[in-house]
Amino acid sequence: MGTRTYVLKKAVQALLTLFAVVVFNFFLFRVLPSDPIDLLTRGAGLRLSPADKAELRHEYGLDKPVFPGQFVSYVEDTARLDLGTSIILDQGRKVRSLFAEYAIPTLILVGSSTVFSLILGVLMGIYGGWRRGRKFDMFSMGFSLVLYSMPEFWLGMLLILLFSTTLGWFPSSGRATLGVDYTGFHHFTDIINHLFLPALTLTLAYLGEYYLIMRSSLLDVLGEDYITTARAKGVREKWVLRRHAVRNALLPTITLIALSFGFVLGGAITVEFVFGYKGLGGLTYEALRSQDLPVLQGIFFIASAAVIFANLVSDLIYGHFDPRVRNA
């Protein structure tokens, strides 16, 4: 098949899946028999006259026939990245403008914690699997199982209790200190100060899972025949691990981790809320509270796109390292 065909095939699949999400998103709100206008304005608690409703209906394009009229304009809008207009949180403001403001902090938070938990989890998993049953493995297994069983937001609350309320080392909420206008280096350290606990929470929350996945994958591989072949050839244990075991073990690990990315995003929502962190997660909670459906729809779309993208990346990495899928 060749690499180029493979990349193309995967990219097209990703786009198709994204399109399916758009379709799904569209029909989600038309599932119930109730009037979409009522649904949209329920949160605002407004009492609308029939004339007002008709006006709103026209403004939102809801007076057109659902299919193809509304559907087509919905798809077109999404393609232009017009994700609708907020009706309650920030009346009249375009959803995508809201997202632009809140996206970067979330990217920083989720990005940094994912990088840390991935690297740590994978390295620990390799070592724990290689030295299975020894103290490091037993301790890490226990540690990982406990972390895996914890709700992320609860872990965040515990960390606040300990490091903020009791020890006073870190602030308990916010993205930056309010009321003060730091610049340059001060601003930077202030951000880091506020970022630390939520990032630590998300890192720990998924570290356990990645450890377990990597370890399990490595153990599977260590039982394979080609590992025995490598040892029989006289290769040192260290090289058997690095050249043969790890490479093969990383492949399914990457896939599984990408699949679990949806859970990471879920964690980001609750953790940002607990830390009052002004990112997309916190925005989601606000939108939920005020029932701002266009914003929620937009969040769902963005989050799905992120997961699809993560899976695409993992597919491409997999394809690079495993010749079998490229030639299939």
Of residues 125-154, those binding another protein (CB under 8 A): 133, 145-146, 148-154
Candidate ranges 70-78, 184-192, 195-203, 232-240; the one touching another protein (CB under 8 A)? 232-240
The answer to whether 261 touches 306, Cβ cutoff 8 Å, is yes
Near another protein in 10-39, by CB under 8 A? 17, 20-21, 24, 28-29, 31-32, 39
Tell me the closest approach of the beta carbon of residue 185 to another protein, in angstroms: 28
Q: Please say which residue, 195 or 264, places its beta carbon nearer to another protein.
A: 264
Binders in 170-209 for another protein, by CB under 8 A: 172
Give me the amino acid identity at 115.
Answer: V
Stretch that binds another protein, among 76-84, 88-96, 185-193, 233-241 (CB under 8 A): 233-241
Amino acid at 39: L
Among 164, 177, 193, 255, binds another protein (CB under 8 A): 164
- Give the integer Cα–Cα distance in Å for 244 and 255: 19
For another protein, give the closer residue by CB, 112 or 216. Answer: 216
CA–CA distance, 188 with 107 (Å, rounded to integer): 16
3-state secondary structure of 292: coil
CB 114 within 8 A of CB 199: no
Nearest to residue 273, comparing CAs of 283, 262, 260, 287? 283
Q: In the complex with another protein, which residue's Cβ is closer, 105 or 292?
A: 292
Examine residue 86 and tell whether it contacts another protein (CB under 8 A): no
Footprint on residues 258-297 left by another protein (CB under 8 A): 259, 261-263, 265-266, 269-270, 273-274, 284-285, 288-289, 291, 293, 296-297
CB closer to another protein, 158 vs 182 = 158
CB of 222 to another protein, least distance (A): 10
Name 285's Cβ contacts closer than 8 Å, sequence gap at least 6. 269, 272, 273
Element (H, E) at 243: none
Q: Is the peptide bond before 68 cis (omega within 30 degrees of 0)?
A: yes
- Which of 160, 218, 254, 257 is in the footprint of another protein by CB under 8 A? 160
- 94 forms beta bridges with 85
Q: How many residues bind another protein (CB under 8 A)?
A: 77
Q: Is 231 in the site for another protein (CB under 8 A)?
A: yes
CA neighbours closer than 13 Å in the CB half-sphere of residue 197: 33
Burial annotation 212-230 (CB, 10 A radius, 16+ → b, else e): bbbbbbbbebbeeeebeeb
Which of these segments, 50-58, 99-107, 115-123, 255-263, binds another protein (CB under 8 A)? Answer: 255-263
Q: Report the alpha-carbon distance of residue 240 to residue 229 in Å, rounded.
A: 10
- Rounded to the nearest 5°, which phi and psi values hold at 200? -60, -40
Helix (H) or strand (E) segment spanning residue 94? none
Which of 28, 79 has the CB closer to another protein? 28
Nearer to another protein, 186 or 243 (CB): 243
- Tokens representing 239 are 């090289």
Minimum Å distance from CB 77 to another protein? 18
d(CA 175, CA 93): 22
**Residue 1 Cβ, how far from another protein at the closest point, in Å?**
13
Applying CB under 8 A, the span of 54-62, 74-82, 189-197, 236-244 interacting with another protein comes to 236-244
CB of 183 to another protein, least distance (A): 28
Q: Which is nearer to another protein, 62 or 308 (CB)?
A: 308
- Taking the least distance from each CB to another protein, the nearer of 78 and 172 is 172
